[in-house]
Amino acid sequence: MTDFPQGTSAHTISLLLGHPDPSTLASLEFGAELRGAANRADLFKMLQYGPEQGTPGLIQFLTEKLNHDEHLTLEPDNMMIVAGSTHAVDMIARLYAKPGGVVLVEAPSYADSIHIFRDHGLDLYGIPMDDEGLRVDALAGLLQTLKANGKAPTLLYSIPDFHNPTGITLAHTRRLEVLRLAAQYGFAIVEDDVYRELGFERTPPPSFYALADEQQQVFRIGSFSKTLAPGLRVGWLISSKAAIQHCINAGTTQMGGGANPFAAGLIAEYCRAGHWDQHLDRLRALYQARRDAVLGALAEHMPPTVRWTQPDGGFFIWLTLPDTIFARDVKQMALQEGVLVASGEGFFIQPAEGSHHLRLAFSFAPIPAMQVAMERLAQVIRRLA
């Protein structure tokens, strides 16, 4: 393993990937947890196959925390532990959408989730977004058009909070409207909510899961990858008891014996000791400072033709270039200046829609490096103008 994410080196400043700040990963508390585990008389239990639903202590902690923080009424059977959100997205695609089935995603959406849906042979449609998230009028129109063509979507995949790649949070009223359409047209909502805990100025609106009633099927996905350590590969899935049981009954769940019992056992102890809640407080302050630094540098250096989002949480800022400047040219020239950013194409089903967008991940590189990077990026854009 190197010190740098794939595609970077000591001489590049990476705003490419949604990787957490490396300084936050090996906390003193987590190190102590490891030492504690080594000394536990019941270490062998964490190393055996675990219950298919996942480590009970972690389910208990998470359901109690979410019930407390969000006034939910989760029972343990509304949750299973998953091996990161990847596991959940893949499992839902496999169990709930037949190949050739229709899945709706935000446009733009998370590139790797689009990739997973494509690997399952699903037919994808994008819903345009504005500053309040996915446009419900466009969703309603798309649903009508699909219906007229004899098609019915199975799933809507949404990242409602601090969206990847835009950083936008879906407005509360729109969540209610989307749920009404879900009930009307009979599709389920996959709510990829891995950034929810990372709100800076405000807590996000209630989740789709929290707002749904019995008519609406929601799969809400959470993760420790952004808020503890991605290398542990542990997250959670919340849904109806019947849906969770269906996921528990799946072949992969039965064969694997519970998602990452060892890592989940470590995390359960860490959380129950109160360390995660303290860590979240630190992370919110840390990522808020990172965002402020990048927004400040953008305001200072960017030409007036460039626009960007003002995320109030998460890891990402989304840049919109003037129509005359192509993101892939900016990306290429910025790379020559030692700055790594994501060009917009990969976030869209129709790559051309991303031609004038860049995603900046403010989560990873040191703040002074990101400030330098914004200056260089602005110079590149000015040169291309």
Read off the tokens for 355. 């031609």
Nearest-CA neighbor of 260 among 70, 124, 8, 83?
A: 83
Whole-number Å distance between alpha carbons of 32 and 251: 36
222 binding a copy of itself? (CB under 8 A): no
Nearer to a copy of itself, 183 or 369 (CB): 369
Instruction: Give the residue among 164, 89, 91 at the shortest CA–CA distance from 129.
Output: 164
Q: How far apart are CA 364 and CA 89, in angstroms?
A: 24
Q: Is 216 in the site for a copy of itself (CB under 8 A)?
A: no
272 binds a copy of itself (CB under 8 A): no
Q: What share of the chain is helix, strand, coil (3-state, %, to 5)?
A: 50, 15, 35
**Residue 336 near residue 297 (C-beta atoms within 8 A):** no
One character per residue 121-160, x = contact with a copy of itself (rule: CB under 8 A): x---------------------------------------
- Residue nearer to a copy of itself on the CB measure, 119 or 292: 119
Binding status of residue 10 toward a copy of itself by CB under 8 A:
no
- Min dist CB 30 to a copy of itself, Å, is 8
Among 163, 174, 233, 359, binds a copy of itself (CB under 8 A): 233
Which residue in 76, 128, 206, 256 binds a copy of itself (CB under 8 A)?
A: 256
Cβ atoms of 208 and 220 within 8 Å: the answer is yes
Region class of 378: left (phi > 0), else alpha (psi between -120 and 50), else beta? alpha
CB of 136 to a copy of itself, least distance (A): 27
Q: Provide the 3-class DSSP secondary structure of residue 9.
A: coil
* Pairing mode, strands 123-130 and 102-107: parallel
Cβ closest to a copy of itself, residue 102 vs residue 210: 102
Ranges within 15-74 binding a copy of itself (CB under 8 A): 17, 19-20, 22-23, 25-26, 30-32, 34-35, 37-39, 43-52, 55-57
Beta carbon of residue 116, minimum distance to a copy of itself (angstroms, whole number): 4
Angle at 345 between CA 339 and CA 346, to 5 degrees: 90
What is the DSSP-derived secondary structure letter of residue 133?
E
Q: Which stretch binds a copy of itself (CB under 8 A): 199-207, 229-237, 316-324, 325-333?
A: 229-237
* Residues 81-110 contacting a copy of itself, CB under 8 A: 83-87, 89-90, 94-95, 98-99
In the numeric block, which tokens belong to residue 128?
């345009």
Contact flag: residue 116 with a copy of itself (CB under 8 A): yes
CB of 31 to a copy of itself, least distance (A): 4
